[in-house]
Structure 1
Amino acid sequence: MNRRKFLQQGSLSAAAVAALPLAAAAETNAKPSFRVAFISDVHVKTGEVPERGMQQAFKHVNALKPSVDFIMNGGDAIMDAMKATKAKVQEQWDLWNKILTAENRLPIYHCIGNHDAWGWQMTEPEIKNDPLYNKAWAVQQHQMPGRYYSFTKNNWKFIILDSAHENNGGYIAKIDEEQWQWLENELKSTDADMHICIASHIPIVSYVSGFFFDKTEDNGDRKISRALLHTDSFKLTELFRSYKNIRCCLSGHIHLQDMVEYRGIHYYCNGAVSGNWWGGAFKGFAPAYALFEFFKDGSVNRKMMEYNLKMR
C-alpha cells in the first residue's frame, strides 16, 4: 500500500473540529445516553509525522471530555507486525504505549487489526512456535480479555470481534468457528431489551470496500478483496436477522468512510486516524476519527471528526 510522504499540513485545535458530510442516524433532540470516540488505523511508527499524529489525535479526543465516555480502538494500532522482526514490532508497541500513556485519560477498548498480528508474512519457521505469534502479542499489549469479547454500557452491549485471519501468507476477513459459536451464544444470552453494537476491524457490510482499488475486473465486475470485506457476511447478516436489538456495526480497515443501512442495521466504516498511512488524505478522506452518540432508545448518531497536522 502507498506510503507517500505526508503532503497535507495544517493546525490542530479542539475548537476547530470539522465534520465530514456523512449521513448518520436520524437527528434527535434527546440527550444521548453516552458518547464514544471510534479511533481506527493509527498505524503508529517511529517518525515525526506518525508520532505527532497519534499524539494530536488522542489530545483531540481527550479535549472533548467529559462529553466522551470512552474510546474504541478499531485496530491496526501499529504500522505493521505481519512482516517485521521481533525487535521492530516491540519498538512499535513501545511507541504506542508511550504515547497512549502520555496523551489518553479515557477508558479504551481494543479491537485487533491485521497489522497488529505478528509473523503472518515471515518465513522463519521458529516464529510460528513463538508464544507471541499471531494475535497473542496484541492481546498482551492491549491487556485485552481475549481476541474477542463483550462489555456493557448502560442499556447497550458491545461485541468486539476478531475479523482478520492468516491465509497463506496474507489474510482473510471472517470469524473462525470457535468465535462463531461464542457469538451465537453471546447473542442468545443478551436480553432483548438491551441494544447491541458489534465492532470488527474489517467491515461486515460496506460500500467503500468496492472503492479501495482504482479499477474493476477485466469483465467490469467491481473488485472486492476477501481481505477488505467479511467473506462470511452473508452468514453473519442472516444470523443478525434473528436479533432485532442489533442496532449498528462499526469498523475501520478501509481508510475510507461510509454508512450503509441493511435490514435495519447501520454499518459504519470509520476512516483512519492515519489517513493515507501518514501520507495525507486517502482518496479524499483526511485523517479522522468517528464520534458516536448512543441513545437509550437504540438510535445512533455519528459525526466524523477531522483534524490536521502542523509540522515544523
Structure 2
Amino acid sequence: MSLIRRSFLQTLFGGSLALTGGVTLAEETNSTNSTTDSPFTVAFLTDTHQPAGNGEVMQKVEQLLDTIQSRETSPGLFVFGGDNVMAVDGGQADEQVDIQFQQWKENVIDRLKVPSVSCIGNHDIRWKDHVKDQAESYLEKKRAVETFGMPSRYYAAEHGGWQFFLLDTFQHNGCEIDDAQWKWFEEELAKSDKPACVVTHAPLMSVTHFYEPSTDKGLGKGYVVPSGWSAHKLADIRKLFRKYPRVKLCLSGHMHTVDRVDVDDTTYICGGAVSGNWWGGKEYLGCPACWMELKLYPDGSWSHTRHEWS
C-alpha cells in the first residue's frame, strides 16, 4: 500500500464528509449481444468503508441505497465487493469492531429489499482473532462471514440465470486464492455452462495499480506493484478462464479507482469505491465516489454503467 493510501486510512475518523446522495449517470459501456431477453439488473457496491458511529456517513449510505432501490430499473441483487466496514484489521477496540459490524447489518443488510452477496475485503478481517495453530478455522473472518450473510468465506450463488463466485483473496500469508479454494473453484467451474461472474476484493487483473504514483519509481526500469494489490498466480487465473470461458465478468474493488480490462473472453472491472476518497470529500486519483449497475443476459452478454455520486 502506498504512503498516500496509508495516510488516508490513518486519518479516516477525523476527515470531513462532503459526499451527497445525488447520483449522476455515467456513460454506459455496452457489451451485450442480446436484443430479446430481459436483463437481470445487479448493483455492485464496493469499498463502502462505513465507519462506526458516524451518523452523517450512515445517512448518506441509507440515501444511496434508497436511491438505487427506487430506480425504475431497480436491481434484483446487490453485490458487495468487500471493505464494507471502515476497518477492523488493525488495533481497533472490540467495542468499535462490534459497532461497525452491527451497523452494517442494521443500516445496509436490513435495508435491502432484494438478496445480496458479498466477498470479504482486507479491512473486514479481524486479524486479532487469527489462531496460528488453527489457521484453517479462519476465525479472523468469522464476524464478516456472519454479518455479510455469507455461507462461507468463499462460495457460489445463482441469480438471474448467472452463477456468482464470491472468492476470498486475503490470507494470513498474503494476497492469494489458497489451494483449497482454488481446487473448489476449478471443480465448480466444470459443473455448469451458465455464464459466470467472479467477485473478489483485490483485482485479479487490473491497470488501476499504475494510477498510483508510488508504482513508478522514475528510474526507467519499469513499475513496482505491491503484492497486496492483486491475487498471485495471474497467469494461472488466465489459463483457468481460457479453459472455462463461461467466466464472462470479474468484479473487484480495493483500489478505489476504476478500470476495465478485456482478456480473452473475460472482462475485469475494478469498481471504484462508494466511499470515494475514504469519505474525505474528494475524488481519489481522479475517480469520484461511484457504484456500478450491471445488466446481465441469459446468453452471457452484459452491459455496465458507472454511476458517480458527489
TM range (shorter): 0.7 to 0.9
Q: Which residue of 1 aligns with 2:259?
A: 258
- Residues 1:104 and 2:112 aligned together: yes
Name the SS of the counterpart of 1:181 in structure 2.
helix
Name the SS of the counterpart of 2:267 in structure 1.
strand
Q: How far apart in 2 are the matches of 1:150 and 1:207?
A: 27
Count matched residues.
Answer: 295
What is the CA deviation profile of residues 154-211 of structure 1, one whole-angstrom value per residue up to 9, with x for unaligned ones? 43111111111223xxxx3210011011011111112x3x111111111101111221
- Residues 1:297 and 2:299 aligned together: yes
Does the C-alpha gap of structure 1 residues 186 and 127 become closer, same or farther in structure 2, counting only changes over 3 Å?
closer
Q: How far apart in 2 are the matches of 1:105 and 1:160?
A: 21
- Residues 1:157 and 2:163 aligned together: yes
One-letter identity of the residue aligned with 1:208: T
Query: Is the contact between residue 40 and residue 272 of structure 1 (CA under 8 Å) also seen in structure 2?
Result: yes
What is the CA deviation profile of residues 119-144 of structure 1, one whole-angstrom value per residue up to 9, with x for unaligned ones? 2xx5x998998988411111111231
Q: Which residue of 2 aligns with 1:225?
A: 226
Q: How far apart in 1 are the matches of 2:97 and 2:72?
A: 32
- Residues 1:51 and 2:46 aligned together: no
Q: Which residue of 1 aligns with 2:121?
A: 113
Q: Which residue of 2 aligns with 1:216?
A: 216
Query: Is the contact between residue 212 and residue 254 of structure 1 (CA under 8 Å) also seen in structure 2?
Result: no
Matches within 5 A, 1:1-312: 1=6, 2=8, 3=11, 5-6=15-16, 8-10=18-20, 12-13=21-22, 17-21=23-27, 23-26=29-32, 29-45=35-51, 46-64=53-71, 67-83=74-90, 84-101=92-109, 103-119=111-127, 122=128, 133-167=139-173, 172-190=174-192, 192=193, 194-217=194-217, 219-220=219-220, 221-280=222-281, 281-308=283-310
Q: For residue 8 of structure 1, report the CA deviation from its aligned partner.
A: 4.0
Q: How far apart in 1 are the matches of 2:163 and 2:76?
A: 15
Structure 1 residue ranges without an equivalent (≥5): none
Does 53-62 or 25-34 show the bigger shift? 25-34
What is the CA deviation profile of residues 48-88 of structure 1, one whole-angstrom value per residue up to 9, with x for unaligned ones? 44222321221122112663111001111101111123222
Does 207-216 or 278-287 show the bigger shift? 207-216
Q: Which residue of 1 aligns with 2:3?
A: none
Q: How far apart in 2 are the matches of 1:91 and 1:214?
A: 34
CA root-mean-square deviation: 2.5
- Return the TM-score normalized by structure 1: 0.86
Name the SS of the counterpart of 1:135 in structure 2.
helix
Structure 2 residue ranges without an equivalent (≥5): 1-5
Does the C-alpha gap of structure 1 residues 102 and 180 become closer, same or farther in structure 2, counting only changes over 3 Å?
closer
Query: Is the contact between residue 255 and residue 270 of structure 1 (CA under 8 Å) also seen in structure 2?
Result: yes
Q: For residue 147 of structure 1, report the CA deviation from its aligned partner.
A: 0.5
Q: How far apart in 1 are the matches of 2:63 and 2:212?
A: 26
Q: How far apart in 2 are the matches of 1:31 and 1:218?
A: 50
What is the CA deviation profile of residues 103-126 of structure 1, one whole-angstrom value per residue up to 9, with x for unaligned ones? 32221111111111002xx5x998
Name the SS of the counterpart of 2:101 in structure 1.
helix
Q: For residue 300 of structure 1, report the CA deviation from its aligned partner.
A: 1.3
Q: How far apart in 2 are the matches of 1:37 and 1:132?
A: 28
Q: Which has the higher helix share?
A: 2
Query: Is the contact between residue 242 and residue 265 of structure 2 (CA under 8 Å) also seen in structure 1?
Result: no
Q: How far apart in 2 are the matches of 1:30 and 1:212?
A: 42
One-letter identity of the residue aligned with 1:145: P
Q: How far apart in 1 are the matches of 2:232 and 2:24?
A: 34
Q: For residue 235 of structure 1, report the CA deviation from its aligned partner.
A: 1.1
* Percent pairwise identity: 27
Q: How far apart in 2 are the matches of 1:33 and 1:21?
A: 18
Does the C-alpha gap of structure 1 residues 299 and 126 become closer, same or farther in structure 2, counting only changes over 3 Å?
closer
One-letter identity of the residue aligned with 1:230: A
Q: For residue 19 of structure 1, report the CA deviation from its aligned partner.
A: 2.6
One-letter identity of the residue aligned with 2:157: F
